[in-house]
Structure 1
Amino acid sequence: MVKLVLMHKAESLYEDELDVAYDFPKQYLKAITQAVGDWIVYYEPVKAGPRGYFAVAKISRVIEKPDQAGRYLALIEADSYLSFDVEVPRLSEGVPLETALIDPSGMPKKGGLVQSAVRRLPEADFARIVNWGLPQDLERQEAIRYDPVQPELHDAPVLFERPVIERLTRRAYRDVAFRRKVREAYDFRCAMSGLQLRNGGGRPEVQTAHIRPVEHGGSDAVRNGLALSGTLHWMFDRGLISVAQDCETILVSQNKVPSDVVSRLLRPDGKLVKPADPRSAPHPANLRWHRENVFGQVIGDEPLNWG
């Protein structure tokens, strides 16, 4: 196995679904096949945008792309994709983070490998990039984000250095990273009520919901998330509300949710608030899964008391 950098351009002719599959030509088949079972880092080239290194994922297998001769898909392990909390720049103090892109003089190389859509990534480079994009202390950063002075944190504990892969696969860490990215994508605003509420300390009241739960094949990509108030999150998870095929009209289980509850909780136009960046908008396939598998089915034993 080998780790790779995979180049992604949003307007490319290749139909990447970054948390599902990476579309590539035959010339990279050998390299990507060798990476099956290992981790990759997604990279946005200079001419495509400012992001640099922006996400990590794991390749589960490679298949031929249906009806596309000479094209292949690297399928992404369902629960592996994770956006970086901080997008990682291409250069640090003028020097590439990938050692293979540094020429003998210590300056960035030009052309050739730099422009390759698939590059081998040594373990040390992988760890350096991931540690920058997904810091070791991300959970602690989030814990003190809106309450920096906590009694139990007066004597700051020594950070337990977890290996990179352990951190990438630990559910608690991934949940924090997912929550931070989704709430920021929606500017800390509930996607269904439109409200942007904060408590006295500035802590946002909005929560995050997986549209398709991880245990049912969903990913931790922002496009599989919604920022929702606590009540609407509860209703969404229990199938009382969903989103229509147009990806913006809010659906309500009318026989289970009283109309006055709808008028109090949802935006007057009944439309979803979407992120400013269209790349973060809910993916149609995830919304369809929720409509077909959750909407209309009350999940849980709690009595529906709307009083």
Structure 2
Amino acid sequence: MTKLVLLHRSDSIYEDELDTRYDFPKAYLKAMREGVGDWVVYYEPVKAGPRAYFAVAKIAAIIPKPGVADRYLALIEPGSFLPFDENVARLIEGRPLETVLSHPDGTPKKGGAQQQAVRRLPEADFARIVNIGLPQHLEEMEARRYGSPSSAMAEEALTFERPILERLTRRAYRDVAFRRRVREAYDYRCAISGLRLRNGGGCPEVQAAHIRPVDKQGSDSVRNGLALSGTLHWMFDRGLISVAEDWTILVSRNKVPGGVVDRLIVPDGRLRKPNDRHDWPHPENLRWHRENVFGQVSMTPDEVLPWS
């Protein structure tokens, strides 16, 4: 197994869906096969946008692309994709983070390897990039933003360094990383109510909801997330509301009183999307929610409707 850097351009002719598949030509097949079962770092070149290194994922398998000669798909292991908390620049203090892109004196090379869409990534380079993009103390950092972390958390942060692969797979860490990116993408504003509220301690009221749950093959991509207030998050998960293809907010009218709709949903009835199109909800995730959750989840006898 080999770790890789995979180049991605948002204007690419290749049909990438980074949390599920990576589309590539035959020229890179050998390197991609070496990466099966291992982690990759996604990279956006400078001329294509500002993100540089911006996410990690794990390759599960390589298959020929159906109907296209000499093209292949790297299938991403479900639940492995994770965007970085902060995008990582290609150069730190003028030196590349990838040793293959450096001269022996540490200065950056020009052309050649940096133009390749698939690059092998040494373990040390992978660790360096991930440690910047996904800091080991991310959970403590999040707790400190809105109050003091527990003494146990603070003590653990001082004495225990979590291995990188544990961070990439531990659900609690991934939940914090997902929440931070989704709430930031929506500017801490609920996508359905339009409200941007904070409690007395300055903590945002808005939550991060998975559109397609992780246990249903959903990913931790921002494109599988919505920033929602607590009540609307509950309603979304219970199938009382959803989002149409044209971004109209759908409501299960036989279960949700009109007065509740008037109070909780923006007057024009349309989803508030992030400013960055990279972060807009993916249409396939919304379709999955409409077809599998909206109007189909039965309430348990002991559930109390929030407007009762």
TM bracket (short chain)? over 0.9
Residue ranges of structure 1 left out of the alignment (5+ in a row):
none
Equivalent-residue separation in structure 2 for 1:73 and 1:84 (angstroms): 23
Overall identity of the aligned pairs, in % = 70
**Given that residues 237 and 299 in structure 1 are in contact (C-alpha distance below 8 angstroms), is that contact kept between their aligned partners in structure 2?**
no
Is the contact between residue 2 and residue 38 of structure 2 (CA under 8 Å) also seen in structure 1? yes
User: SS of the counterpart of 1:288?
Assistant: helix
TM-score of the aligned structures, taking structure 2 as reference length? 0.96
Q: What residue is the counterpart of 1:5 in the other structure? A: 5
Q: TM-score, normalised by structure 1?
A: 0.96
1:152 alignment counterpart:
151
Q: 1:183–1:151: structure 2 CA closer, same or farther, 3 Å change rule? A: closer
Paired position in structure 2 for 1:304: 305
1:267 partner letter? V
Q: Does 1:89 align with 2:89?
A: yes
* Alpha-carbon displacement from aligned partner over 1:115-140 (angstroms, at most 9, x marks no partner): 11110001111011000000000000
Q: Which residue of 2 aligns with 1:69?
A: 69
Deviation at 1:245, TM superposition (A): 2.2
Counterparts of residues 255-266 of structure 1 (less than 5 Å): 255-266=254-265
Matching residue of 2:29: 29
Deviations 1:44-71 (A, max 9, x none): 1111112110000000101111111111
Name the structure 2 match of 1:139.
139
What is the Cα deviation at residue 104 of structure 1?
2.2
* Residues 52, 89 of structure 1: 8 Å contact kept: yes
Paired AA for residue 268 in structure 1: P
AA at the equivalent of 2:68 = Q
Q: Which amino acid aligns with 1:36?
A: V
Per the TM alignment, residue 152 of structure 1 is displaced from its structure 2 partner at its CA by 3.2
Q: RMSD of the alignment, in Å?
A: 1.4
Once residues 281 and 304 of structure 2 are traced to their aligned partners in structure 1, the CA distance between those partners, rounded to angstroms, is 30
Query: CA, structure 1 residues 24+268, in 2 after alignment: closer, same or farther (shift >3 Å)?
Result: same
Deviation track 1:179-227 (CA, whole Å, cap 9, x = no partner) reads 0000000000000000000112211000010000000000000000000
Counterpart residue number, 2:15: 15
Residue pair 2:238, 2:297 contacting (<8 A) in 1 also? yes
Aligned residues: 305
Is the CA contact (8 Å cut-off) linking 2:245 and 2:283 kept in structure 1? yes
* CA deviation profile, 1:56-109 (whole Å, cap 9, x unmatched): 000010111111111111011110000000111101111110111111232101
Q: Helix, strand or coil: the match of 1:144?
A: helix
Would the aligned equivalents of 1:224 and 1:283 in 2 still touch at CA under 8 Å?
A: yes
Displacement after TM superposition at 1:150 (Å): 5.4
The equivalent residue for 1:274 is 273
Structure 1 letter corresponding to 2:264: L
Task: Say if 1:79 and 1:220, in contact at 8 Å, map to a contact too.
Answer: yes
